[in-house]
Homo-oligomer: A and B are copies of this chain.
Amino acid sequence: MKFKIQKKYLLNSIQAVSNAISSRTVIPILTGMKIDVTPSKIVLTGSNSDITIQSHIPSMKEEEEIITDMTAGSIVLPVPHFPEIIRKLPEDIVHVTVEDNYKTIIQSGKAVFTLYGQSSEEYPHIKINQSEDHLTLNIKDLKTLIRQTVFAVSPMETRPILTGVNVSLTNDLLTFTATDSHRLALRSINIKENNLEADSIVIPGKSLQDLNKIFDDHDGKVHMTILKNQVLFYTDHLYFLSRLLSGNYPETSRLIPNESKTTLHIFTKDLIHTIERAALLSSRDQNNVIRLDTLENNIIEISGNSPEIGNVKEQLGAVSIEGEELKISFSSRYMLDTLRTIDSERVQIDFTGAMRPFVIRTPDEDKILQLILPVRTF
């Protein structure tokens, strides 16, 4: 096996695939990165018990030669050594040659590295194929779906299913839902290109965070296909396979109140900054609980109290307040998690009393819904 490649392309692929490689794995060969050289491309693979990432580097890109001097073969190289070596090479061109006993020579400029590789035959066989049965969405939309929901998954393994995001497809509407039972985040988008049947799966939250990380390019399209116990996201050159969580995701629609006693319209950034200040003097024991009171003349007051240290009060003008007057306490952390994912200039918050969950929506987008349970403080 050998090849000569432009360093920047190899480095990009290595960085994506590295996200799947962990030194803490029960299968020793998975601490390495697999490289397959075929006559037309190089494929890098990284894998752990949750996800597998594969990056394909074509030998030609438009008119540009990316890879030359290719001889087919495969090898598994140690991580983090292989990525670190490529990152620090002195020149823009790298020669990689595998000799006897998986001894791999990496040469660039006057630097010559020898790495002891392993046989790729010991690497688990992971089948990753494109499929006719897939849906297609913009990478930008996938990143929005993840960003506006994944923060609300449960960090606790007591109910494992809640550590995942429920992804459901009905009538070309793709919906991500996450809840840790104190709050819920839901985001939908309409899918235009879809061959998948209605389905509901649960993807580990950690997998979606990794997926969000490797797609830093916002422009293209991404395809999603559901396999047995697995979900595959792929673009032309990047494949991301994740295991699914088994079990039934709880029915969450009944949690969402369909009436409102007090409706608040307010500027998102103003509310974020005021809550950040109130959170500075909120009790850390109680998940940084703060309080919101409606006053007259479309004014709300946000307050925090940290016994021993001090307290804070701040009045803030809302765009409008309709309905009953309200005093409610809630976790500033949950509220900030939610508000920080919202891109809209204004939010609408619907309350149905001090002890009932309240709902945050955006006026210009009907497919986002965030719900938070208040905290009893009196």
Q: Which residues of A contact B (CB under 8 A)?
A: 78, 81, 84-85, 88-90, 104, 110-116, 273-274, 276-277, 280-281, 306, 308-316
A305 and B180 alpha carbons, distance in the complex (Å):
49
Contact B90–A310 (Cβ < 8 Å)? no
| Chain B residues positioned under 8 Å from A114 (CB to CB) | 310-312
Number of copies: 2
A310 and B309 alpha carbons, distance in the complex (Å):
57
A85 and B311 alpha carbons, distance in the complex (Å):
11
| Chain B residues positioned under 8 Å from A276 (CB to CB) | 88
Contact A316–B280 (Cβ < 8 Å)? no
| Chain B residues positioned under 8 Å from A280 (CB to CB) | 81, 84-85, 88, 113
Chain B residue with Cβ nearest A109: B314
The residue from B116, B313, B314 contacting A309, defined by CB atoms under 8 A apart: B116
A308 and B78 alpha carbons, distance in the complex (Å):
10
Contact B309–A88 (Cβ < 8 Å)? no
A315 and B90 alpha carbons, distance in the complex (Å):
12
Contact A314–B112 (Cβ < 8 Å)? yes
A115 touching B310 in the complex, CB below 8 Å, given contacts A85-B280, A280-B88: yes
Contact B110–A314 (Cβ < 8 Å)? yes
| Chain B residues positioned under 8 Å from A281 (CB to CB) | 81, 85, 113
A310 touching B81 in the complex, CB below 8 Å, given contacts A110-B316, A315-B110: yes
Minimum CB–CB distance for A82 against chain B, Å: 9
The residue from B90, B273, B308 contacting A116, defined by CB atoms under 8 A apart: B308
Chain B residue with Cβ nearest A316: B110
Contact A277–B111 (Cβ < 8 Å)? yes
| Chain B residues positioned under 8 Å from A90 (CB to CB) | 273, 277
A89 and B90 alpha carbons, distance in the complex (Å):
48
| Chain B residues positioned under 8 Å from A115 (CB to CB) | 309-310
A306 and B116 alpha carbons, distance in the complex (Å):
10
A104 and B312 alpha carbons, distance in the complex (Å):
11
Contact A112–B277 (Cβ < 8 Å)? no
| Chain B residues positioned under 8 Å from A88 (CB to CB) | 273, 276-277, 280
Contact B273–A113 (Cβ < 8 Å)? no
Contact A113–B312 (Cβ < 8 Å)? yes
A280 and B112 alpha carbons, distance in the complex (Å):
12
Contact B81–A309 (Cβ < 8 Å)? yes
18 additional A-B pairs beyond A81-B310, A112-B312, A113-B280, beta carbons within 8 Å, are: A78-B309, A81-B281, A81-B306, A81-B309, A84-B280, A85-B277, A85-B281, A85-B312, A88-B277, A104-B310, A111-B312, A111-B313, A113-B281, A113-B310, A113-B312, A114-B312, A116-B308, A116-B309
